[in-house]
Structure 1
Amino acid sequence: MNAATPPPGEAEAAELARLLPETDENEWQLPPGRHLHHKDVLMQQIDHDHDHHMDRSRARQAAPAPVAATPRRRLLRPAVLMPAAAALAAAGILLATLPSDDTDGVRDMGAGEGATANAAVTLDRIATASLKADTPRVKAGQFVYIRSLVQGNEGKLDGEVKLGAPYKQQMWMSQDPAPVTNIGMIRESGKGATMPGQDVPIEASAVDGSDDSGAIPEGPERPTYNWLASLPTDPDALLKKLYAETEPADERETKAQAVFNKIGDLLGQTVMPPENAAAFYKAVAKLPGVTEVPDAVDAAGRHGIGITLDESSYATRSEWIFDKKSFEYLGSRGYMTKNHKPGGKPGKAGNPEVLYGSDAVLERAVVDQKGMEPESAGERG
């Protein structure tokens, strides 16, 4: 490779950027904190392609020079509700947001306003049901296992949303309370998977462990069972802590939206003590703008009750789904609520919203090793 040739990966990125339409202030974008999972997957694929290219180049040389392991990008919240096009936005290609009606920038929306009456009643029932859940205790050396069904957008950047085929996702998250660089692993399979058949590490530093400067301790960005158990179980105290420690993604996101999204991440991707789960649901009932959706459907086709908060600054709406009888958490959905291209409409006439992604939590368990499936996997066949 001569000095005039760009490194592998950069040429492809430049070509993608050239082909993409120029951004407009009316183009939509998800909150930056929601991009992290697919950004990491995209970056790891670029790293993989770079390493593969270098391996082939060294094979043609008599005395190959050693190449240091490529550092992996930090992944803090492996969210799954993410259209495929937004992975490019996460990589810095598309960064425009919808204009906000909030002229004050970030507004600290006080917790005293509360959710609507219907949502508050439903959240109280969910909290009561969660106290009766048979939740296993998690030891420091174990991994929380989450098996989900995921469906995302495969449409073009400047075109209509086109949902891809649902695919299976398995995730293992380390419960070690000490700072770690090897946080966990994601495994996907199925037609719609981003990297089917591959175990994608969730890491905060170099793969070979040579650099531990990015090690992450247990806490808000790596919520272990032990850390969750340390949180206040009084909903007012918990909400005060969340407001103090949760930062909005940017100047357009309100505190209430940031806290709602943070709690949503925890509900879908962790195992926590029943008392703490109940406190989170009661805290959500105190957030302004939270409403109930009478009928919501997860990626597995299960109908339930939805709890939602409109993220008007990003032209999106997140929705959590709970079983109508047991009030167990089923999954979540994401909608676009405003135009995402000049002159375009998010949905058909009479339906101003369009679904851009959904997931369904099919199983939660605790296992002793990363990559290990719970015993119930044998029952699934």
Structure 2
Amino acid sequence: MIRTPWRRREEPLDRAELARLLPAPGDPELSSDRLSGLEEHLMTEIRNRTPDTAPDTAPATSTGAPPAGLSEGDRAPRPARRSGRRPVLVGVAAALALAAAGVAGLAGSPDGSGGPESPGRAVTPPAGAVPAPVVQVVRGSTAGLAGAVADISGAAARAELPEPGPGQFLYVRSLVSWLVSWEGADGKNRSYVDEIHPREVWMSPDGSKGRLIEPYKKDLDRDGITLDDAEGGERTLNSPSYDYLRTLPTDPDLLVKKVYDETEGMGNGPDQQAFSTIGDLLREQVVPPKLAAGLYRAAARIPGVVLVDDSVDAAGRHGVAIARTDEEDGSRTEWIFDRETYTYLGERTVQTRDVEGVKAGTVTGHTAVTDRAVVDAVKQRPAGSAPGERAASPATPSAGT
């Protein structure tokens, strides 16, 4: 699997990153009268608190199962979302520090208004982020699943992909967008996502050499970053190469057993981890056709997998979807396929219920594969493929499903 920083964020930004993304706040000076008033008010609040209003100290739990550079199975389980509740600060110094920070944030607002909900005051989103799309959550069903999987696996088996030769590279170009769950100045969680943008990956068949170009990401050079694996680590389902994938069985019963055995103890339960692992193999890989057909049939054997009649990828293309909902965090991952050709289009992740400030229907992840090919060199693109510049804007595809 491609071992680079992944793009998916599903927790509030930490303070250091937030400070880096947002403009520096102002440095207001409070008058002595104003400072005394704030101190008196905060001390009154502290005295009036009862012992049972102690802070929520329950540790955040990992939500399991992406992310730009890694496929989802290549990273550790995604970071736990931190609770939006903040601990009570006890003591005059802490109270005054909190007051000063709050006033500084207000002074840094464009209109200098007195509160986050005041008319005309906009809470600034993270740089490069847009409000997350919200869609209607359509119920999935097992009705029609077997027939759809048969069509999808049949199309995968018939796919004509050139076999990479010595010195060649597997090339995948996608459009991607992932969640930035950001807590605003008023303490309320707001869901933003990256603007949908291109991402290109080149990998040698043995996985030893590669490159990622994602110029949208400020922390990545426009020339990309190397994916070379000088150590040549052991290949697994969570760190595969094309050569490794060619060694896997294509029988769906053998595949599903291998997936469960190799991912035991990972993620949010065996069924969800099995589904996520297969999805990782499909998202940003060139998979041998017969293996891809077997993987789809294997996925259909996982409990909880359903067919969704309509989903939309990051390029705005509609299709049918094989999907599964993570019982722990309520996120449903949908693999989207063209209605007529049954080719893989991309992936969408939708929140099916309110969880930690992320509302039901929020699209927390989007991908769309626009090119898969074999090329002769890193940074070489197939004829007619667009370079990895910022996407025009299918950033908010139709919200009908």
Taking structure 2 as the reference length, what is the TM-score of the superposition? 0.61
Q: Paired residue for 1:274?
A: 289
Q: Paired residue for 1:171?
A: 201
Q: 1:124 aligns with which of 150, 167, 174?
A: 150
Q: Is residue 247 of structure 2 the alignment partner of residue 223 of structure 1? A: no
Are residues 28 and 336 of structure 1, via their aligned partners in 2, closer, same or farther at CA, if it must alter by over 3 Å? farther
Are residues 202 and 118 of structure 1, via their aligned partners in 2, closer, same or farther at CA, if it must alter by over 3 Å? same
Give the number of equivalent residue pairs: 282
Aligned alpha-carbon RMSD (Å): 3.7
Higher Cα Rg, which structure: 2
Letter matched to residue 286 of structure 2: V
Tell me if the contact between 1:316 and 1:337 (Cα under 8 Å) persists in the aligned partners. yes
Q: Paired residue for 2:266?
A: 249
Q: Paired residue for 1:188?
A: 214
* Pairs within 5 Å for 1:1-381: 15=16, 30-31=63-64, 33-34=65-66, 37=68, 77-79=70-72, 90=79, 116-157=142-183, 159-176=189-206, 180=208, 183-190=209-216, 195=220, 197-202=222-227, 212=231, 215-250=232-267, 253-341=268-356, 344=357, 346-347=358-359, 352-377=360-385
Letter matched to residue 195 of structure 1: L
Taking structure 1 as the reference length, what is the TM-score of the superposition? 0.64
CA-CA distance at 1:298 after TM superposition: 0.3
Q: Deviations over 1:147-185 (max 9, x none)?
A: 0111223441462212332111101123126xx4xx522
Tell me if the contact between 2:71 and 2:283 (Cα under 8 Å) persists in the aligned partners. no
- Could you list the runs of 5+ residues in structure 1 that have no partner in the other structure? 1-11, 39-76, 97-114
CA-CA distance at 1:134 after TM superposition: 0.9
CA-CA distance at 1:142 after TM superposition: 2.5
Are residues 315 and 237 of structure 1, via their aligned partners in 2, closer, same or farther at CA, if it must alter by over 3 Å? same
CA-CA distance at 1:144 after TM superposition: 1.4
Q: Deviations over 1:17-57 (max 9, x none)?
A: 999xx9875978542x545x57xxxxxxxxxxxxxxxxxxx
Separation in 2, partners of 1:199, 1:380: 10
Q: Secondary structure at the match of 2:261?
A: helix
Q: Deviations over 1:102-129 (max 9, x none)?
A: xxxxxxxxxxxxx923222211110111
> Structure 1 vs Structure 2: percent identity of aligned residues?
31
Letter matched to residue 302 of structure 1: R
Letter matched to residue 247 of structure 1: E
- Could you list the runs of 5+ residues in structure 2 that have no partner in the other structure? 1-12, 21-54, 84-140, 390-401
CA-CA distance at 1:13 after TM superposition: 7.5
| Structure 1, 270-279 or 292-301: larger mean CA deviation | 270-279
Tell me if the contact between 1:299 and 1:360 (Cα under 8 Å) persists in the aligned partners. yes
Q: Paired residue for 1:46?
A: none
Separation in 2, partners of 1:376, 1:14: 43
Q: Deviations over 1:40-88 (max 9, x none)?
A: xxxxxxxxxxxxxxxxxxxxxxxxxxxxxxxxxxxxx4349x9xxx99x
Are residues 116 and 379 of structure 1, via their aligned partners in 2, closer, same or farther at CA, if it must alter by over 3 Å? same
Q: Paired residue for 1:106?
A: none
Separation in 1, partners of 2:191, 2:238: 30
